[in-house]
Structure 1
Amino acid sequence: MPKLRAEQLGSALTKQLAPIYLVSGEEPLLIQECCDQIRAAARKHGFSERDLYHADTSFDWGQLLAAANSLSLFAEKKIIELRMPSGKPGDKGGKILQEYAESPAPDNVLLIVTEKLDSATQKSKWFKAIEDAGQHIQIWPITIAQLPRWIGLRLQSAGLRADSDAIELLVSRIEGNLLAAAQEIEKLKLLAHNNHISYELMASVVADSARYDVFGLADKALHGDARAAVKTLQGLRSEGTEPINVLWAITRDIRTLIQVSQAVAQGKHFDWAAKQAGVWEKRQPLIQAALRRLKPAHLQQLLRKANGIDKAVKGMRNAEPWDELLDLILNIAGVQSLNMHNERLSLKH
């Protein structure tokens, strides 16, 4: 069956309930809502019981086949939900998924939930077998450019009308966090007069719900957006995030930049070097942009600074980790706060 977009799922469910659904993507809210729609449709068809499994590295894939073959004492039909964050079932898991997909049990609906699947995974035998037998709902991220329209449609479906400047204000406050946007719209439903949302009402009720996460911080720094990166760093600190978690994400990207830079210097094509370094296609422009600013010597300097921050976090060096993380982020974003000589001196203390 062809891939479905999230907005096409509702219509497809009214026509036919597939034996297998695979929901993949990076937007938690949209993934959750798609899964809710599938579960609700399955319950209408008598699939009243639900078995939930988490496929981590220690998962026993035999449980999946056992669940599919076992008869319930309480219901004739059931939903088997498999959470597989990595999207990588391994050899054994892949064979079991392929075996199941080739002959799906009529009394079960299998719902598989994963993060974004790379192109290699989508060429695997287990994936093709599932796609042939069921439906793949691929969740694409909502870009900043698409966000005003998405929020407008969301407000409309909630029975609300909003001025364009009110929508723009909500977009600026939630910074891509769809779950925060959905929560704010629920609040607005209770407060709107005649179902109308003015700029003044939006400003008075919408909280600053920017999504502060370490990966978003790294992306902003790589992009060269120093102001947004600093705001995110401050948000992480205020939310109680441990500095070691921030440092881990930043150091990982510094090492990736060094690996790609070295391969390119040896004559390798950037696309090949990025793929070898495990850089997703979506992040490759960020890595490429950062490498235009950051030369090999500078990257080595950043890695030394990251190691120094690690020592400060562990109490092996007298320094304030958050202050040094700020300096590191600014340097990655292209703001030179320290020259190399002063940097080497600071890391000796």
Structure 2
Amino acid sequence: MKLRPDQLSAHLKQLHLQQCAPVYIISGDEPLQVSECCDQIRLKARQQGFTERHVYHIDKTFDWGEVLEAANTLSLFAEKQIIELRMPGKPGDAGRKVFKEYIDHPSPDNLLLIITDRLDNATQKEKWFKALEHEGVFIPIWPIEAYKLPEWIAQRLKQDGFSATRDALSLIAERVEGNLLAASQELEKLKLLAKDQRINEETVQSAISDNARYDVFQLTDAALTGNVKLCVRILGVLKGEGIEPPVVLWALVREIRLLSYMSRLKSKGMSTDAVIEQSAKVMGFAPFILKKRRPILEKTIQRHSEKHFRDMLQMTGTIDRSIKGLDRNNPWDELLTLTLFLAGMPPVTAQI
């Protein structure tokens, strides 16, 4: 069975007379929706007696036998168990065999929750995947398109008894630029400022102008201007305020991809005006925003080689794995290294 994220709640509510599906597959690159879908499933499972939970991070060295061992072993103190697999891509031959064995010998005491990156159509047609989907529920998660974001924000507010004007919704959507985790955190701040549970444009503008705390946009600007001390300070404040690492990584990735693309265009001899127009069109930025930021963008491109930008993008992949628990590195340490690299302090392993 395939469900959209917004259909999951209704599906789970219908399970008051029956048990959760034996398998749930959450696939996508949008952290907030992935996290919230998983939370809903875990909560329903706990209500149905799945009191034990085993979490496995799949990598090339993973012993898939641990999954079957867990499936066939239940602790003396647990009624049922959730077996949670965090899998970055395809399972490989060993994983496929384990999934087949799991499906061939189902147990009502086990719930298999698979969390994976976005799966392409070819993967979804493979036998191992079709077998899992047939036995359970597949929830593919896609980024919300820009024109649908104000509606998503409005629905989010409505769930908590709040409303917002059309202008306020547009301004919030413009500020978060498609990052739902950033949008969720922004809404929590705006709710505290709202009068009579309604958010208008003035509320949003006030939150932006009067907020003395740092945000991820100030972090990227500090990095682009090469202000190392300010980068360290802002990153420390963001961590202390509980900002999630995926939000910080999103802001840095967005900036580095833009700079990398602009650098390639500049190397082809295009004028700065032409580079800005082309980059805005291809990378999804408003042209007037890039024109306003032209001085610091040019300064950063002059400070780095194209190879530097490629190295930074490779680093973002490593940080993403750390955030997902697939590596043991500290995501905040890695975010600091990346930020300082962008600010002009390459790590010792980077070649000039």
Could you say whether these structures have the same fold, taking a TM-score greater than 0.5 normalized by the shorter chain as the test?
A: yes
Tell me how many residue pairs correspond in the alignment: 252
Matches of 1:7 and 1:115, distance apart in 2: 19
Matches of 1:80 and 1:69, distance apart in 2: 11
2:193 to 191, 194, 198: 191
Offset of residue 14 of structure 1: 1.5
| TM, length-normalised to structure 2 | 0.64
SS of the residue corresponding to residue 120 of structure 1 reads helix
SS of the residue corresponding to residue 111 of structure 2 reads strand
Q: Would the aligned equivalents of 1:23 and 1:112 in 2 still touch at CA under 8 Å?
A: yes
Offset of residue 312 of structure 1: 11
Query: 201-210 or 28-37, which moves further after superposition?
Result: 201-210
Amino acid at match of 2:148: Q
Identity %, equivalent residues: 48
Query: Structure 1 pair 157/63, CA: closer, same or farther in 2 (3 Å)?
Result: same
Offset of residue 138 of structure 1: 0.7
2:113 to 111, 114, 132: 111
Note if 1:124 corresponds to 2:126.
yes
Amino acid at match of 1:4: L
Matches of 2:50 and 2:88, distance apart in 1: 24
2:279 to 224, 229, 237: 224
Equivalences for 1:102-181 in 2 at 5 Å?
102-181=104-183
| TM, length-normalised to structure 1 | 0.65
Q: 2:251 — aligned with what?
A: 212
Amino acid at match of 1:163: T
Gaps of 5+ in 2: 218-249, 263-277, 301-305, 316-343
Q: 1:28 — aligned with what?
A: 31
Matches of 2:75 and 2:134, distance apart in 1: 27
Q: 1:6 — aligned with what?
A: 5
Offset of residue 315 of structure 1: 8.4
Q: 2:52 — aligned with what?
A: 49
Computed over aligned residues only, the root mean square deviation of the Cα atoms, in angstroms, reads 3.2
Q: Would the aligned equivalents of 1:26 and 1:140 in 2 still touch at CA under 8 Å?
A: yes
SS of the residue corresponding to residue 23 of structure 1 reads strand
Query: Structure 1 pair 137/209, CA: closer, same or farther in 2 (3 Å)?
Result: same
Gaps of 5+ in 1: 238-242, 253-308, 318-349
Matches of 2:71 and 2:83, distance apart in 1: 8
Q: Would the aligned equivalents of 1:54 and 1:84 in 2 still touch at CA under 8 Å?
A: yes
Larger Rg belongs to: 1
2:76 to 63, 73, 77: 73
Q: 1:101 — aligned with what?
A: 103
Amino acid at match of 1:14: K
Offset of residue 172 of structure 1: 1.4
